[in-house]
Chain A
């Protein structure tokens, strides 16, 4: 199955093996004809109107502003409705460094996002701490705090890279089984099982 986004040709994506393995895994036990059709319909809508949370701590946030302006224009893809409240947003683009003091706030914002929710780690600080990794007051990557769906490398990533990253997220959305498994709640215990560092801190 060729999963693509907007008019991007399938070959233009660089990680098609990954999305194919994802599709294979999801469809291993077959798909119900009715539910599958509904999934397709709802995913078509979801993947074309991803609403980001306005969440920027540093430099990457300014590139996110550029992304919203006329030149890169993310409105072409239906991502322009940046929400100031996490309760109205679909995904969170973590643009910037997350430091010790910000961690509880960040975690609360994540908890406030309505399911199904997604996180994009944008820029090297969010991925690993980046140039500030050895600092006494910086989290070494947000993956220790919340589950991450897409990583966008760069310092800061170019707006084109951000577009590519969000496209990857919308591809992921397209193959999900909305009525099957995505629309679930992961319990706190389950989350901590897969994130031992956050559990230590708890």
Chain B
């Protein structure tokens, strides 16, 4: 990192360097130099992956913090920009440096009203076009039912998007049509079985060929980030079960790790092992459901019954220990909620005994099937460069050959001691994404095998203060969820509630890449591609 600092300091004398509480170097820069700094970071310093953009409201000023990661050295760094103009906050866009910034900047605009100059698509993302106010600003009154009342009338639509450009030193608003004048636009969703939830695609088609997809989100936007600001630290945890409801354990793991680091709590090894065991069980269960629903999308309904058999077995194991089938709320600050059930080891061993036979069966029934091959091979190919530019992580990114597993790149908890392989493929098509997930189930089983006989004795939860106060500062933590890199940014003002809790879900980039990946495909392949990306809509909408 030191040489990056040298490079930047030489080129940008205005840049200020600091480090946040997670020891991630932070570069503070003025808006005028942001774009050239971004280019320099990407091209000269290897920071080619934009993890997330965090919008912040500091009362007097609004700002954005860009978290960047290098795909070769796996170093993190952040760039902070702020503007003191609350009426017309302008920041220059970096959408041409990292593709995924386009949608991240839309998100910041939606929540904070910061306008990104030169972003080609400056529309609201989650909220409707007529929404009043910017909900994550501190002065937004979210309890006023009159401000944005619920309406049963369809929301207003526009075929145009705003683009803000600079002319003679002034920022001017221009309009750009989303589709070409003679495009034939078909609406898919939000109520459509193939969108895996409530996601909406406006699809321009030429015959059966897709020309462009305009993704509409927000049909399950629940405002979790704002809700967290009103709750104390332990109370914020339970929302994470309801984002990506398959990665509940992994997401909890992330936030608990973050709180524990911030509060200086050291948890017992037993708790760490239990957390990792639960993470990997959750991963197997999640991929099981993926295989089932994906095959169902492609017309092979029977597979659902085969895969849910294993999933139910895992849910039984979890239910005995956690007391719930889906929203577990199991890891807590200091460890886990309660000790493992006495049958846990026995049940997990029974699962491990049947899992290889099941995976073999899935491959036999589906993977080798000629119809499946024809529908999946070569469909929806995503190159490694595009996967990085669009921030497509998780199994979908690894299927394109990008080694982005946080368990390997930035090992947390006890993952560095474990022996497992990162599953990679080079094809980048739907079949590769499918196969990577099956391979990951085997690797997860391997991790569980290593740990199940070595669960150390000790306390499952250490003593934590009844009222948890975190020192003022900012933290950033990443884990590997079932669908990709999950990150959380926390800003504390020294109180018992988070001042800003930003959740960076893996599914938002997965949905954002749909337009790019489907261009030129047939409309029937949209189902194959969307299914193979395996996005969870409540996760992207939050």
Interface residues of A (CB under 8 A from B): 54-59, 61-63, 65-66, 68-71, 84, 96-97, 99-105, 107-109, 131-132, 134-139, 144-145, 155-156, 158, 197-198, 200-202
Closest 8 CB pairs of A and B: A136-B142, A135-B223, A69-B308, A59-B245, A107-B152, A201-B151, A58-B538, A132-B222
B191 near A55 with CB under 8 A, answer yes
Residue of B198, B224, B245, B309 contacting most chain A CB atoms (<10 Å) = B198
Contact of B150 among A54, A56, A84, A103 (CB under 8 A): A103
Contact A136 B226 (CB under 8 A): yes
* Whole-angstrom CA separation of A71 from B155 in the bound complex: 41
In the complex, how many angstroms separate the beta carbon of B337 from the nearest chain A beta carbon?
16
Interchain CB contact under 8 A, B230 and A101: no
B153–A134 touching, CB < 8 Å? no
Interface residues of B in 292-351 (CB under 8 A from A): 293, 304-305, 308-309, 311-312, 325-327
Instruction: Indicate whether B46 reaches chain A with its CB closer than 8 angstroms.
Output: no
What is the minimal beta-carbon distance from B258 to any residue of chain A, in angstroms?
21
A57→B198 CA distance, assembly (Å): 6
Are A57 and B152 touching (Cβ within 8 A)? no
Among the listed stretches B213-221, B262-270, B423-431, which one makes contact with chain A, having 4 or more residues with CB under 8 Å of it? B213-221
Interface pair B190/A135, CB less than 8 Å apart: no
Which B residues touch A202, using CB under 8 A? 151-153
In the assembled complex, the CB of A122 is this many whole angstroms from the nearest CB of chain B, namely 13
Chain B residues bordering chain A, tally (CB within 8 A): 50
Given contacts A58-B197, A104-B152, contact A99 B221 (CB under 8 A): yes
Beta-carbon contacts under 8 Å, B136-195 to A:
140, 142-143, 148-155, 190-193
Given the interface pairs A59-B245, A105-B219, A202-B153, the reply to whether A132 lies near B198 with Cβ below 8 Å is no
Given A57-B219, A58-B245, A102-B190; A201-B289 close (CB under 8 Å): no
Q: Roughly how many angstroms separate A201 CA and B143 CA in the complex, as a whole number? A: 17
Q: Which residues of A contact B304 (CB under 8 A)?
A: 65, 68-69
A137 touches B127 (CB 8 A): yes
Given contacts A131-B238, A155-B327, contact A136 B190 (CB under 8 A): no
The complex places the Cα of A54 from the Cα of B537 at a distance, in Å, of 16
Query: A101-B127, A104-B151, A201-B151 are known contacts. Are A135 and B242 too (CB-CB below 8 A)?
Result: no
B492 interface residue (CB < 8 Å to A): no
Closest to B539 in A: A58
**Can you name the residue of chain B whose Cβ is closest to the Cβ of A198?**
B152
Cα A54 to Cα B128 with chains together (Å): 25
Q: B222 near A138 (CB under 8 angstroms)? A: yes
Bound state CA distance, A197 and B242, in angstroms?
28
Give residues in B with beta carbon < 8 Å to A: 126-128, 135, 140, 142-143, 148-155, 190-193, 197-198, 218-224, 226-227, 230, 238-239, 241-242, 245-246, 289, 293, 304-305, 308-309, 311-312, 325-327, 537-538
Chain A hits for B221, CB < 8 A: 99, 101, 137
Q: Quick one: which of A62, A101, A144 contacts B326, CB cutoff 8 A?
A: A62
Q: CB distance A70 to B197 under 8 Å?
A: no
Given A54-B193, A101-B218 in contact, is the A62-B289 Cβ separation under 8 Å? yes
Minimal Cβ-Cβ distance residue in B for A138: B222
Q: Which of A65, A97, A201 lies in contact with B220, CB distance below 8 A?
A: A97
Q: Which of A101, A132, A135 has the most C-beta atoms of chain B within 10 angstroms of its own C-beta?
A: A101
Which chain A residues border B224 with CB–CB below 8 Å?
A: 132, 135
CB-defined contacts of B226 to chain A, threshold 8 Å:
135-136
Q: Which residues of A contact B242 (CB under 8 A)?
A: 58-59, 131
- Interchain CB contact under 8 A, A84 and B190: no
Once bound together, how far apart are the Cα atoms of A99 and B538, in whole Å? 11
Report Cα–Cα, A66/B141, bound state, in Å: 40
List, sorted by A's number, 11 A–B pairs whose CB atoms are closer than 8 Å: A57-B219, A65-B304, A69-B305, A84-B193, A101-B127, A101-B221, A103-B151, A132-B222, A134-B230, A137-B148, A201-B149
Chain B residues whose C-beta falls within 8 Å of the C-beta of A132 in the assembled complex: 222-224, 227
* CB contact between B223 and one of A102, A108, A137 (< 8 Å): that residue: A137
Which of chain A's residues has its CB closest to B220's CB?
A: A57
- Among the listed B143, B220, B245, which residue makes an inter-chain contact with A62, where contact means beta carbons less than 8 Å apart? B245
B226 to A: closest C-beta gap in Å: 6
Minimum CB–CB distance for A94 against chain B, Å: 12
Q: Chain B's nearest CB lies how many Å from the CB of A136?
A: 4
Given contacts A58-B245, A84-B192, A105-B219, contact A134 B305 (CB under 8 A): no
Q: Which residues of chain B are within 8 angstroms of A138 by Cβ–Cβ distance?
A: 222-223
> A135 to B227, Cβ gap below 8 A?
yes
Chain A residue nearest to B219 (CB atoms) is A102
Contact A101 B219, CB 8 Å, known A134-B227, A200-B149, A201-B153: yes
Q: Quick check: A109 and B152 within 8 Å, CB to CB?
A: no
How far apart are the CA atoms of A29 and B218 in the complex, in Å? Answer: 50
What residues on A are CB-neighbors of B149 within 8 Å? 200-201
Whether A104 lies near B325 (C-beta < 8 A) is: no
Q: Which residues of chain B are near A200, meaning CB under 8 Å?
A: 149
Expressed in whole angstroms, the Cα–Cα distance for A96 and B219 within the complex equals: 11
A55 to B128, CA, bound (A): 22
Q: Are B222 and A99 within 8 A (Cβ)?
A: yes
Given that A105-B219, A137-B127 are contacting pairs, would A100 and B227 also be in contact in the complex, using a CB cutoff of 8 Å? no
**Within 8 Å CB of B126, what residues of A?**
101, 137
Chain A neighbourhood of B326, CB < 8 A: 59, 62-63, 156
Contact A99 B309 (CB under 8 A): no
Report yes or no: A136 in contact with B197, Cβ–Cβ below 8 A: no
Which residue of chain B has its CB nearest to the CB of A201?
A: B151
Q: Are A96 and B220 in contact (CB under 8 A)?
A: yes
Q: Given known contacts A69-B312, A99-B221, what 10 new A-B pairs fall within 8 Å (CB)?
A: A54-B193, A57-B219, A99-B219, A100-B148, A101-B155, A101-B218, A134-B143, A135-B222, A136-B223, A137-B126
